[in-house]
Chains A and B, each alone.
Chain A
Amino acid sequence: MSSAALAPSLHGDEVDRRRSVISGLLCGIGVAGFVDETVFHQLLHWHHFYDKSTPAWGLISDGIFHAAAWLCIVGGLFLFADLRRRASFGALWLWGGFFLGLGGFQLYDGTLQHKVFRFHQIRYHVNILPYDLVWNALAALALLVGIALLLRARRLAAATARTAPT
């Protein structure tokens, strides 16, 4: 991001697709991490600060993912502000990236962290199956929305390029 990020784009009328998607992706991952922390840890108390079955390396991975979510949300928002300043952000690209990040992070949490590594579960002392199904179905839905938006953005961009005067 160093020099590329600092290199100013002078083509403000053009949409910076790559950075629009990245900004959305970062915000999506950050929001997923934030919702996990506030809703499931703090409000519902379904998740616990520490689950006795979590191995030490699971706690380390937890910590790194926690920091990543913080970095993503703050970095993603500043990247968004920068795109706005350059008038080069594409809303569809951004929302596509956002849902991709949201769904991707939740699917990672729901499959690898919950089921494969078994760091922790969504809720305790209940039949976990419906929770897992809803969790991962929502994640897959967000991923599909993200992909659909990105495809639509690409179609629209191609159509505009065809009709635009040279």
Chain B
Amino acid sequence: MPIGWLIDWQTAPAPWVTLLAGLALYVVGVTRLRRRGRSWSRRRSATFLAGWGVLLIALCSPLAAHDESFPVHMVQHLLIGMLAPLLFALSAPITLALRVLRPVDRRSLVRILHSRAARALAFPPIGALIYTASLWTLYLTPLFAQTLDHPLLHEALHVHFLLVGCLFMWPLVGLDPVGSRSSMRVRIGVLLLALGSHAALAKLIYAGWMGGGLAHTLPTEDIHAGAQLMYYGGDAIDAALLVIFFAQWYARAGRALAHAERRSTGPSIPGMHPPARRAQARAAR
């Protein structure tokens, strides 16, 4: 591995400034909360830091210096558009803001969150549709070829990846109180179609459907490597997303179960295994 790969960090200021500003906001929020004697889950802080690290690798590390190559671009897409949003959704930054903002600012934030536009965007099918449609448009029309020629468009694409990734992840697994919780049925349907179209798009790219003549001008082995990265890398992140999604369901169902057991059997030893608790209830009869 050439040494350049290790030291060749990006010096363009925009990504650094944006990333450091985001980190500062979260850290200030957590310290302010702590100073008031209120706790903030370490797990949330850890997922935020992990997501931040993922963005740093995608945008500022030596990897970013080579993003004119299609496979490297695909790694960026996976990191910026999927992995970082998944981690940020689990770090609950909006909840943090709601807790530390001054009452007047908090009211404005709540007003924005309750606005019709925000509620529409927080409806899982809408976010998933924007996410999916923008990816299909990007790769199957000449748009992606344009981003290779225009540096500003290229940077805008990175911002776009992050935004649509968040729109997709937040309503599905986000911990923030945004929008209305839609039913499991709707969210499972959304997951099926969104994850399925991501895999399908990877295969279409592999099969030479890329727009703007790129299917002929990019080296075939680059297209194949990029498409397979998109497919299998997407699979790995999808697996994490699905485990988190169903684990959240499992925890909610567990809380509902514990609540109902408490009501039906009266006071019992907390943490007792349900069958044992039932036996206790039977013995009491």
Contacts and interface: CB of A to CB of B under 8 A. Distances in A.
Interface of A: 1-3, 5-8, 10, 12-13, 49-50, 54, 56, 59-60, 62-68, 70-71, 74-75, 77-78, 81-82, 85-87
Contacts, number: 112
Contacts of B257: 8, 85-86
B204 A56 contact: yes
Nearest to A59: B203
8 contacts: A1-B184, A8-B260, A50-B206, A63-B200, A63-B201, A67-B238, A74-B239, A74-B243
Contacts of A63: 196-203
B192 A82 contact: no
B193 interface: yes
Given A1-B183, A2-B185, A85-B254, 10 more contacts: A5-B184, A7-B256, A10-B260, A56-B209, A67-B193, A70-B195, A74-B242, A78-B246, A78-B247, A85-B257
B207 A59 contact: yes
A64 B249 contact: no
Contacts of A78: 246-247, 249-250
Interface residues of B, number: 45
B203 A81 contact: no
B266 to A, nearest CB: 13
A109 B254 CA distance: 36
A122 B259 CA distance: 51
A50 B201 CA distance: 12
B252 A66 contact: no
Q: Is the interface of A mostly helix, strand, loop or mixed?
A: helix
A57 to B, nearest CB: 9
B239 A64 contact: no
B235 interface: yes
A62 B274 contact: no
A49 B242 contact: no
B256 A6 contact: yes
A60 B197 contact: yes
A12 B243 contact: no
Nearest to B259: A8
B100 interface: no
B160 to A, nearest CB: 22
Contact of A59 (B194, B200, B243, B260): B200
Contacts of A5: 184, 249, 253
